[in-house]
């Protein structure tokens, strides 16, 4: 049996909003497995949290670039160590410069981008120089580049905490911004039902089935209940079925009209990166010794 620490309980509470004792029990029942503990709480009806969001801890910024003709768009994430450095003018200028370079040169991946030439140097050398000047480790994490005959739209939220790159079949700047803002706010999993990951869907069905059984529902109606709840799930994770955040009387399908969403990318700064937790008390004690 894995030891259940207060930190683990706190993290589960932040993810699910469940009570401390419920979180501790969930972790105990699942031998400390965080994802299984989230499912356990949902199955018991204690938590409705469907998303197992990792702790967002890395600093830096997400930036976007669209070419002058509007046909090429880029979304880019560069990480650094502190929020203070992320607001540095040099850091922002670096990000903008690299984003335009990606649009112009279409590198295959991050490795190819780092090895590519920009102003007579490799991009990696430019980042290394910026690391020395700014005084923090800077790393180019990921990027996405779209090229289209339709419409490119971007949206950056909270100064670079969330960024969206969107391709539409047509429409105008207002439509592009509205749909990109929707993606930033509601974090859809897919454009429509066809794009929902089959494994994620089966996992959701299993959780909802156990949830219904825990509620004491008769076995013969559980499957019908699950299908009803899956339809609700689709409305949460499929972009075109989501309620429009700016007008609850409309769905995104209504907003799009005859236009279609071809693809989208949503970056949330630092998602999936765990930041080292500093024990300042221990550090001070060590220094005093």
Among 95, 117, 147, identify where a domain stops: 147
22, part of any domain? yes
Among 55, 70, 86, identify where a domain stops: 55
Q: Domain of 102: which CATH number?
A: 3.30.479.20
219, part of any domain? no
Residues 11 and 38 in one domain: yes
Say how many domains are in the chain: 2
Entry pTM: 0.75
Q: pLDDT tens digit string along 76-88?
A: 999 998 888 898 8
Residues 143 and 74 in one domain: yes
Residues 61 and 36 in one domain: no
Which pLDDT value is given to residue 159? 92
Which pLDDT value is given to residue 19? 81
47, part of any domain? yes
Ranges of the chain with pLDDT below 70? 1, 47-57, 274-289
Residues 13 and 87 in one domain: no
289, part of any domain? no
Residues 71 and 132 in one domain: yes
Residues 133 and 80 in one domain: yes
Which pLDDT value is given to residue 282? 54
74, part of any domain? yes
Q: Domain of 17: which CATH number?
A: 1.10.8.10
7, part of any domain? yes
Which pLDDT value is given to residue 51? 45
Residues 71 and 131 in one domain: yes
Residues 75 and 142 in one domain: yes
Among 31, 55, 79, identify where a domain stops: 55
Residues 43 and 64 in one domain: no
127, part of any domain? yes
- Give the CA count within 13 Å in the CB-facing half-sphere of 88: 22
Residues 25 and 76 in one domain: no
172, part of any domain? no
Which domain, by its residues, includes 50?
A: 1-55
Residues 74 and 142 in one domain: yes
């Amino acid at each position: 049996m894995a030891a259940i620490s207060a930190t683990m309980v706190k993290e589960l509470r932040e993810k699910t909003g469940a009570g401390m004792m419920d979180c501790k029990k969930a972790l105990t029942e699942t031998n400390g497995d965080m994802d299984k503990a989230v499912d356990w709480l949902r199955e018991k009806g204690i938590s409705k949290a469907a998303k197992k969001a990792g702790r967002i801890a890395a600093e830096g910024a997400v930036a976007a670039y669209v070419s002058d003709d509007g046909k090429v768009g880029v979304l880019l994430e560069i990480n650094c160590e502190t929020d203070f450095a992320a607001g540095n003018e040099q850091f922002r200028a670096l990000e903008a410069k690299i984003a335009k370079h990606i649009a112009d040169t279409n590198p295959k991946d991050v490795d190819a981008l780092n090895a590519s030439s920009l102003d007579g140097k490799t991009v990696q050398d430019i980042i290394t120089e910026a690391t020395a000047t700014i005084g923090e480790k800077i790393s180019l994490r990921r990027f996405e580049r779209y090229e289209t005959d339709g419409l490119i739209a971007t949206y950056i939220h909270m100064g670079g905490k969330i960024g969206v790159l969107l391709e539409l079949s047509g429409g105008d700047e207002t439509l592009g911004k509205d749909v990109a803002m929707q993606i930033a706010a509601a974090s859809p999993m897919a454009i429509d039902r066809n794009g929902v990951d089959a494994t994620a869907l089966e996992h959701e069905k299993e959780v909802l089935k156990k949830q219904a059984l825990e509620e004491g529902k008769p076995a013969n109606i559980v499957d019908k209940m699950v299908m009803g709840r899956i339809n609700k799930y689709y409305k949460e994770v499929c972009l075109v079925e989501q309620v429009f955040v700016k007008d609850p009387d409309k769905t995104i399908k209504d907003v799009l009209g005859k236009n279609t969403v071809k693809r989208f990318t949503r970056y949330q700064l630092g998602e999936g990166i765990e930041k080292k937790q500093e024990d300042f008390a221990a550090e001070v004690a060590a220094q005093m010794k």
